[in-house]
């Protein structure tokens, strides 16, 4: 989306008669000044989360505590200690879960805030409510589920491919640490995913069960689209092939399938190779529908109307995409990368720069066997001197505005303000 279209969207949001009270991002002098004077985005982010946690009554780090303190997880943690010092990727995954700066346990908080912002239907019985938090007991369970599923997915991503297909069956006794790490990654991820599915089943809501299962399907589908190296790291599509397809197919239906029915699978047609479309599809499948459908399910449990449930879905989806764009920008805030640093090859700055300069695809193709063969320092420098970073900022602004639009369809409340502050805290300095 061009900068002029961003301004047009912003103008529409501010002038719309349906949402006259919308405090759009950077649409007022006060909010522009707020963003302009932000000197420490991390402090701003932590402050927004701290205020939000007070509204729901407890820290998100305690959401899944009873699962993390179970005998099964305790045993896995003990076994994980044996991998310390080994090159297995699960070690870095565990570090990011414990010490990561991206607040990986924030999604449950967002689900609870959406639940509290909307409230419950009068049909809901008092015994089903967690009155200290202002949400339903089932909604808190749902918040735990989304955290467990997201954590399980991250742990499963730590499985390391030990052999090429053509070498399968060879003796792997020398890689005992790597084999052991794979077992821990599979068992740990499966335990959390199984616990999450059991919790959904105990809610005894067939419609919610079906909806969340489609989110799990989307997450699985995200691992099987596009090119990948031998370790399953994604590689962007060839932009030249996309240009050839555009010349062959002039008609392009760009209506997202979830506008019609968000339980149906997404289509790959005319998507791969188109920067914004490819990025949106990949990250909608990977995490967007999980957060969106979790927010939708929270309103389903509260017995809210279907149109309000869809509003919650699109809020969660666009918030997730704005969040992803913010994370994609992180490596490019550095003037140069360290020798061992890497970044996602399907991040928005990379895909946008590929459209601007398709010649860098030759460097990316070196990662067909392993992305470790790519000169990330060279790519980093090329992208910093191109238009990809600015276009990513526009992309983040676009999805932040769309999330804010959906948010302002809910009645004013402390929970809605907390969600707004989280969106504002994500904005790029």
- Rounded to an integer, what distance in angstroms lies between the CA atom of residue 313 and that of residue 256? 14
Here the tokens at position 191 are 């335990």
Higher pLDDT: 76 or 251? It is 76
Weakest mean pLDDT among 20-34, 51-65, 312-326, 396-410: 20-34
> Given a cut of 90, is residue 120 above it in pLDDT?
no
Is 375 domain-assigned? Answer: yes
The pLDDT tens digits for 293-320 are: 999 999 999 999 999 999 999 999 999 9
pLDDT at position 423: 93
pLDDT at position 167: 57
pLDDT at position 85: 60
Average pLDDT over residues 254-258: 72
Is 188 domain-assigned? Answer: yes
Is 413 domain-assigned? Answer: yes
pLDDT at position 78: 64
Is 168 domain-assigned? Answer: no
Average pLDDT over residues 10-25: 43
Q: Binning pLDDT at 50, 70 and 90, where does residue 328 land?
A: very high
The pLDDT tens digits for 54-87 are: 888 765 544 455 555 565 666 666 666 666 666 6
Higher pLDDT: 178 or 37? It is 178
Average pLDDT of every residue of the chain: 78
pLDDT at position 102: 47
Q: Are strands 129-130 and 135-136 parallel, antiparallel or unpaired?
A: antiparallel
In angstroms, what is the C-alpha Rg of the chain?
A: 22
> Given a cut of 70, is residue 421 above it in pLDDT?
yes
Residue 74 Ramachandran class (φ > 0 left, ψ -120 to 50 alpha, else beta):
alpha
Is 167 domain-assigned? Answer: no
The H-or-E segment that residue 377 falls in is helix 376-384
Residue by residue, DSSP assigns 112-126 as HHHHHHH---TTS-G
Partners of 135 in the beta sheet?
A: 130
Partners of 129 in the beta sheet?
A: 136
Name the domain count of the chain. 1
Contact 145, 205 (CB under 8 A): no
Contact 388, 381 (CB under 8 A): no
Q: Binning pLDDT at 50, 70 and 90, where does residue 6 land?
A: very low
pLDDT at position 173: 57
pLDDT at position 249: 47
- Rounded to an integer, what distance in angstroms lies between the CA atom of residue 207 and that of residue 296? 11
Percentage above 70 pLDDT, the chain: 71
Is 397 domain-assigned? Answer: yes
Q: Binning pLDDT at 50, 70 and 90, where does residue 34 land?
A: very low
> Given a cut of 70, is residue 28 above it in pLDDT?
no
pLDDT at position 232: 82
Higher pLDDT: 150 or 270? It is 150
pLDDT at position 119: 84
> Given a cut of 50, is residue 272 above it in pLDDT?
yes
Is 288 domain-assigned? Answer: yes
Q: Which of 332, 351, 354 is nearest to 343 (CA)?
A: 332
Helix, strand, coil in percent for the chain, rounding step 5: 70, 0, 30
> Given a cut of 80, is residue 135 above it in pLDDT?
yes
pLDDT at position 215: 95
Which of 130-144, 350-364, 386-400 tops mean pLDDT?
386-400
Q: Taking the chain, what is the end-to-end CA distance rounded to the nearest angstrom?
A: 20
Average pLDDT over residues 388-397: 94
Contact 328, 385 (CB under 8 A): no
Contact 219, 276 (CB under 8 A): no
Average pLDDT over residues 354-380: 87
Contacts of 241 (CB under 8 A, 6+ apart): 273
The burial of 306, by beta-carbon neighbours within 10 Å (0-12 exposed, 13-18 middle, 19 or more buried), is given as: exposed
CATH at residue 130: 1.10.600.10
> Given a cut of 50, is residue 259 above it in pLDDT?
yes
Average pLDDT over residues 258-278: 85
Domain that holds residue 78: 3-162+174-249+259-426
Is 8 domain-assigned? Answer: yes
């Amino acid at each position: 989306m061009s900068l002029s279209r961003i301004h047009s969207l912003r103008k529409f949001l501010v002038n719309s008669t349906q949402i006259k009270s919308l405090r759009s991002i950077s649409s007022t002098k006060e909010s522009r000044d707020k963003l302009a004077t932000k000197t420490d985005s991390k402090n701003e982010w932590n402050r927004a989360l701290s205020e939000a946690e007070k509204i729901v009554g407890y820290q998100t780090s305690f959401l899944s505590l009873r699962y993390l303190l179970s005998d099964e997880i305790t045993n896995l943690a003990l076994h994980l200690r044996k991998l310390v010092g080994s090159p297995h990727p699960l070690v870095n995954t565990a570090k990011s879960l414990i010490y990561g700066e991206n607040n990986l346990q924030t999604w449950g908080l967002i689900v609870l805030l959406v639940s509290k912002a909307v409230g419950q239907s009068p049909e809901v019985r008092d015994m089903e409510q967690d009155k200290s938090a202002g949400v339903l007991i089932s909604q808190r369970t749902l918040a735990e589920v989304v955290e467990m599923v997201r954590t399980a997915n991250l742990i499963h991503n730590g499985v390391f491919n030990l052999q090429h297909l053509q070498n399968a069956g060879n003796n792997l006794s020398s890689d005992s640490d790597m084999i052991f790490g794979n077992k821990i990654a599979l068992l740990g991820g499966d335990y959390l995913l199984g616990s999450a599915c059991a919790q959904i089943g105990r809610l005894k809501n067939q419609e919610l069960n079906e909806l969340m299962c489609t989110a799990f399907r989307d997450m699985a589908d995200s691992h099987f689209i596009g090119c990948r190296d031998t370790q399953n790291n994604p590689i962007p599509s060839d932009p030249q092939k996309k240009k050839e397809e555009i010349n062959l197919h002039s008609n392009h239906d760009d209506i997202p399938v979830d506008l019609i029915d968000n339980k149906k699978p997404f289509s790959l047609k005319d998507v791969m190779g188109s920067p914004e479309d490819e990025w949106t599809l990949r990250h909608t499948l990977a995490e967007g529908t999980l957060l969106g459908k979790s927010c939708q399910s929270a309103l389903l449990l509260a017995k809210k109307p279907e149109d309000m449930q869809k509003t919650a879905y699109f809020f969660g989806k666009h918030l997730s995409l704005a969040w992803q764009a913010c994370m994609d920008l992180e490596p490019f805030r550095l003037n140069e990368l360290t020798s061992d640093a890497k970044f996602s090859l399907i991040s928005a700055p990379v895909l946008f720069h590929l459209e601007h300069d398709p010649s860098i695809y030759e460097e990316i193709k070196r990662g067909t066997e392993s992305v470790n063969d790519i000169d990330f320092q060279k790519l980093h420098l090329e992208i910093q001197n191109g238009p990809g970073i600015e276009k990513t900022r526009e992309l983040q602004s676009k999805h932040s505005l769309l999330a804010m639009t959906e948010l302002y369809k809910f009645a004013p409340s402390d929970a809605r303000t907390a969600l707004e502050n989280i969106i504002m805290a994500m904005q790029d300095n």
